[in-house]
Every structure is written in C-alpha cells, then in structure tokens.
Chains A and B, each alone.
Chain A
C-alpha cells in the first residue's frame, strides 16, 4: 500500500515541463513584443481618444499587412473588384478593425502581455505565441500572431488568433458569405455602420 502511494507521488512529480523543439525566432518574438509594447503605451498614455486613435492607426499601418489581409478576407471576390472598390474597402476595413478592437484593448496593461514562444511555419512565416491577461476572462488567453518576414529583418502581422480562432479566417467566412448575395458597396456600408456598434 505504501509502495503504491509512493509510486503515485513519484508519478505526480514526474509531470514534465513542456519542451519546445521547434525552430524559434527571437527576431519575430521581439517584433511582436515591440508592437504590443508600443500599442499598450499609446493606450496607457491617457491622451484624447482622437490622438490615441491616430497613433494606433499609424502603428497599425506599419506593423499589419493590411493589403494582404484585405485581399485574403475577400476571398474569391477580390478578383472582380475595381481599384477604387479595393481602396475604399481597405479604408473601411481598417477603421472597422481599429474601432472594434481598441475598446477591449484599453483594459490591458503592459505587464499582462507576455510573449512565450515562437515557431517557424516555413515560407517566411512564424507563429509567435503569447499569453494575455484579459481582466474579463478567468484564465490567460492564448494569443498567436502569424507574422511574415518582409525582406531584411522586418516583419508584418498577417493574422491574430485568440484561443485558436483566427481573425482573418473568421472574417473571410463572414465577408465572402455576405458577398455571395450582396455587393462590395453594401459590405463597405455595413463595415462603416458596424464600426460604431456598441456591444453590451
């Protein structure tokens, strides 16, 4: 009996720490850390809403591959669009993203975001994993950034997924479904309207 108990205790203490053997990328990790630190400091600076938004917008501009994402979320409908439609869509989409996510972002503070690991997916893609402490949630959120090397040592964000739900896959599903029956003009209108939806 004692032996069994000892065995259990031994087993319990044998829980190995997780080990990651994937090719990690310190550069990609640093990039994500820098972007989030910047974003958090902008949000935490306590400036006017307008000043904050414009700063975040320029950070967004420089770190997110919005051209590629806009193309991706439109799926097969991208091909049939005019230049004007595309640029109009991009503009609305960017505002939509900013207005949608910033209110939530405001709750975070710098010490509640931590890059934990990264791995290579090949083709210049890296996944940078992080833990975020969202005060609204019971547990730490797993947030993954998919970043791509853009020449030199610079990166751009192409996707963010929270607990396995990808922003761009989800939005592509939503948008392409809309475009199946509706027009791009309607979609843009929707995005403009929806930017101001106040969630309860």
Chain B
C-alpha cells in the first residue's frame, strides 16, 4: 500500500518534472511555438509609420514574467546550453538529424488527435500517413519519407482548437521552464498532456528520457537562433516576447 503510494508520488513528481522540462514550449521554444499550417495571418506593411501589423500581447504580469524569464534564462545558461554544446560536439550531425526526426515522428499521434478535434481531416490523414510511413519505411521515424511522398510535416496543438471554438488569446505569460506562452496557451499545454497518447504508453522514466532528449534536440536545432534571442541583443525579454507573438499569429 505504502509502496504504491510512493510509486504514485514518484510518478507525479516525474511527470511534473517531465512536463516542466518539456522542450516543445521550453525556452527553446521561443522559436518553436507551434502554428497551424496554411492559416498564416498576413500582415501588410503599409507606408504608415506605426500601424499594428502583428499581435501584441498584453503583459499585466510583467513583474512575475520577468522573474520567470530570468530564471529560465539562467537555466538555459547553466544547464540546457552547456549540455547541448556537449551534444553538438559529441554527436555527429547526421545522427543528430536522425534523432530529430525520430522525436518529431513521436509528436504525430498528438497532432492527429488535435487535428481531428479541429475537424481538420486533411491534417489528421496527413498525420496518419506520416506516422505509418515514417515509422516503418522511415525506420522508426529517422527518415522523413512521407514528406518526399507529398505529405509534408505540420504542427498543431490544442490552442488551435481553443481558438477555433472561440477562446480569445490571453495575457502574456512566462512559465518556469516551459517558457513563453499566454494564459490560453497554458491551459492548452495541460490539455495536450492528457491528449497525447504517449502519456499513456510510456512509463514515467521513459517519458522523462523522451522529454529530456527532446529538450536538447530542439535546443540544438535552433542553437544559433536561441543564442541570438537570449544573449545577443538589447533586451532579451522583449525580443522573446516579440518572437513568441510572431509565432502565435500563425495559429490564427
């Protein structure tokens, strides 16, 4: 009985940690927020000086957000970036690419669930096809064969669904380790945990390994860009917000 309780507690702690370490929205993700293919909202850059061409999120909790941002940046500096650097040095580029594709292939079931919820059957089928082909012919996803056969990758998440059923985008929110999001996005983030078939297939340790490697792999994929946003500009807080907003606009 007690052992079960401990196991359960352990599970909760690990799952929480895992989601906290989740890369897809992690800082890494300043540059990696998911958008819905084909529904880009265009901006027209008119001659006027200062028209609003993009979404600017309200930031009423700037105090909290700034502290969280500093924490995340520190975490990147002390842990994520150094580990990624080692990864870059040790793992050959070719292998790193294969790993990137393997991990992305594992996202496909979640994309399928979300696309179906959105009644976007074109995307649902794309996910089925991509997952089926890439997991087999593509050797566990290491090669994106489906893309060559006319089913290119796309991203989606629960926030797209929330948007479709009328939830307005919320205030800007920076969460520890998860990174930039908004109040609506944070709700969607939790929903995606429950919707992801992998949550139920993997045990907690497997999931931890999965999420941990995803963090490093996506930090590696956008290594320069994230360094640029976090360390090579005047105000990384504002720049991260701007990059996040630009990615979010693509959800629409």
Contact = CB atoms under 8 A, between A and B. Distances in A.
B126 A174 contact: no
Interface residues of A, number: 44
B201 to A, nearest CB: 20
Contacts of A11: 125, 128
Interface string B37-71: 01010101110011001100000000000000000
A12 B96 CA distance: 29
A174 B234 contact: yes
B28 interface: no
Sorting the interface of chain B by its residue count into under 10, 10 to 19, 20 to 34 or 35 or more gives: 35 or more
B144 A14 contact: no
Interface string B230-246: 00111100110111001
Contacts of B144: 139
B31 A173 contact: no
B150 interface: yes
Interface in B111-137: 122, 125-126, 128-129, 132
Interface of A: 8, 11-12, 14-18, 71-72, 75-76, 78-79, 121-123, 125, 127, 135-139, 146, 158-159, 163-166, 168-170, 173-175, 177-178, 190, 194, 197, 199-200
Given A72-B45, A164-B249, 19 more contacts: A11-B128, A15-B151, A75-B50, A123-B44, A125-B45, A136-B224, A137-B221, A138-B96, A138-B101, A138-B221, A164-B250, A169-B54, A169-B246, A170-B243, A170-B246, A173-B239, A174-B234, A199-B232, A200-B227
